[in-house]
Copies of this chain bind each other. A is one copy, B any other.
Amino acid sequence: MAEKITPRQTDFSQWYQDIVLQAKLADYSPVKGCMVIRPNGYAVWERIQRELDQRFKSKGVNNAYFPMLIPESFLKKEAEHVEGFAPQLAVVTIAGGKELEEKLVLRPTSETIINSMFAKWIQSYRDLPLLINQWANVVRWEMRTRLFLRTTEFLWQEGHTCHSSLEEAETFTRTMLDVYREFSENVLAMPVVHGQKTESEKFAGALRTYSIEAMMQDKKALQAGTSHNLSSNFAKAFETKFLDKDGKQKHVFQTSWGVSTRLVGGMIMTHSDDKGLVLPPALSQTHVVIVPIYKGDADKARVLAEAEKLAAQIMNDPGVRKLPWVVKVHVDLDETKQAGWKFFEYELIGIPIRIELGPRDLDKGQAVVTRRDLSKKKFLPLASIPETIVKLLPLMQKELLEKASTFRDANTFEVKTYDEFKSRIEEGGFFIANWCGDRELEEKIKQETKATIRCLPFDSSGEIQKTDEPCFMTGKKGGNVKAIFARSY
């Protein structure tokens, strides 16, 4: 039997770590700050990859692969970029037994190495738009790390596109932000606020950065994905040019956008409870587990036969087969473990639906069905179970999103003054305030409250929200916008 999971109320951070380790999602490695993603965690990442990859391809994006090693001089070509990443670099100085003439940096992101290739590949407007994505590992040396959320090496995807105009680049930047938002809600069941990052929070080298921000159960924010309009900043540094229709050589306009294994951490902190992982069906490898319960040999033969029959009925049900996921049903035949132990284990690893099947249930032609996130046992006629599964899995997916949205909304507050904000920041949540945009005041707030501007949220038409109300810090009116302040991961 695994150890007890620390309750969220006692220590949220310890609870998170307990879930990750005990559900065997990931483990600490002997290399400082690097984690091992175990099969249970990697299966979730594979599902995230598959869902995102389909969405990218539907936008015309193709996958490619670029070298992990970047000449040190490349990073220095874009001034803001190297300043942003220099403290986090890991550097190869020896290779093949010799000191390298030029040091090679492990990619913290690939704008520079990719631009060195784009500059070669792009000649004319006919080569545009160029839409590329890469699934890769990256390395950013971090002081404080946390499984999935912040690790020295992590897995991610990074999209890199080139366009013939700034407008088209801006549109694509926003298109990919929308892909992330829709994916977060429909696959991770994780509601997000989307908006623009402030100047001090934007990507090093970007014109503008947009992000999606989720609220974890401890009411802290998690930046779950970013999409950058790079304008021609990298194109100018690398001379990535095209011959336009008007016969003139012009720099391309670029975007980049990425999400990482951090999403697995965000998903855990959005849905899971004190019993373990709660996994949206869209991310599950196994959707239903059937636990046969019996004592004697006569019961055993009968119960096992019925369990296998039920599993086949579920998997072959026409409605089940029409679900957007390949539904896998596992019949637990392990005789070395008690039913109670099994219930505990399947709750820990987050199988969405558990079915208990015993001789007395069979006598009544029924079984006990329990949804992982509700933990209420329901006695259902055997014949109705396949059609119940057809309804239950999408319903669970939908209700997980609703529950998280309700929680997020209940912990999102408008604040009118900085004093009000300071008095409430300890309870946690998203705080919407009218904001003048002063960068020094932004830094002051961070120092005093540990909260940052997560984003300038968009309204329903995708615009930053301008307001005539006074700034919550300065009291000045004019040119203010809505901003979301929160403590974050």
Which residues of A come within 8 Å of B, CB atoms?
27, 29-31, 34-39, 42-43, 45-46, 62-71, 74, 86-97, 103-104, 106, 113, 116-117, 120-121, 126, 132, 136-137, 139, 141, 143, 152-153, 155, 336
CB of B153 within 8 A of CB of A68, answer yes
Kindly provide the distance from the CB of A472 to the nearest chain B CB, expressed in whole angstroms.
36
- Seed contacts A36-B66, A39-B63; 20 additional CB < 8 Å A-B pairs: A27-B120, A31-B69, A31-B113, A35-B67, A36-B64, A37-B65, A42-B62, A42-B64, A43-B63, A45-B65, A68-B139, A89-B94, A90-B104, A91-B95, A92-B106, A94-B103, A95-B141, A96-B143, A136-B137, A137-B137
Task: Kindly identify which residue among B45, B67, B92, B141 contacts A91, using a CB–CB cutoff of 8 Å.
Answer: B92
Kindly provide the distance from the CB of A397 to the nearest chain B CB, expressed in whole angstroms.
24
Q: Which residues of B contact A29 (CB under 8 A)?
A: 66-67, 113, 116-117
Given A90-B95, A94-B93, A95-B90, decide whether A39 and B66 contact each other with a Cβ distance below 8 A: no
Q: Which residues of B contact A39 (CB under 8 A)?
A: 62-64, 132
Task: Kindly identify which residue among B34, B45, B68, B97 contacts A87, using a CB–CB cutoff of 8 Å.
Answer: B97
CB of A67 within 8 A of CB of B36, answer yes
The CA-CA distance from A477 to B249 in the complex, in Å, is 75
Chain copies in complex: 2
Q: Binding site of A, secondary structure by majority: helix, strand, loop or mixed?
A: mixed
| Nearest-neighbor residue (CB-CB) of A106 within chain B | B92
CB of A89 within 8 A of CB of B93, answer no
| Nearest-neighbor residue (CB-CB) of A151 within chain B | B67
Q: Which residues of B contact A152 (CB under 8 A)?
A: 69
| Nearest-neighbor residue (CB-CB) of A39 within chain B | B62
The CA-CA distance from A97 to B141 in the complex, in Å, is 9
Kindly provide the distance from the CB of A127 to the nearest chain B CB, expressed in whole angstroms.
12
Q: Which residues of B contact A43 (CB under 8 A)?
A: 62-63
What are 6 contact pairs spanning A and B, CB under 8 A?
A29-B67, A39-B62, A39-B63, A46-B63, A90-B95, A92-B93
Nearest 5 A-B pairs (CB), nearest first?
A: A96-B141, A39-B62, A34-B67, A37-B65, A90-B95
Q: Which residues of B contact A137 (CB under 8 A)?
A: 68, 136-137
Q: Which residues of B contact A71 (CB under 8 A)?
A: 30-31
Kindly provide the distance from the CB of A422 to the nearest chain B CB, expressed in whole angstroms.
33
The CA-CA distance from A93 to B105 in the complex, in Å, is 11
The CA-CA distance from A38 to B65 in the complex, in Å, is 7
The CA-CA distance from A45 to B134 in the complex, in Å, is 13
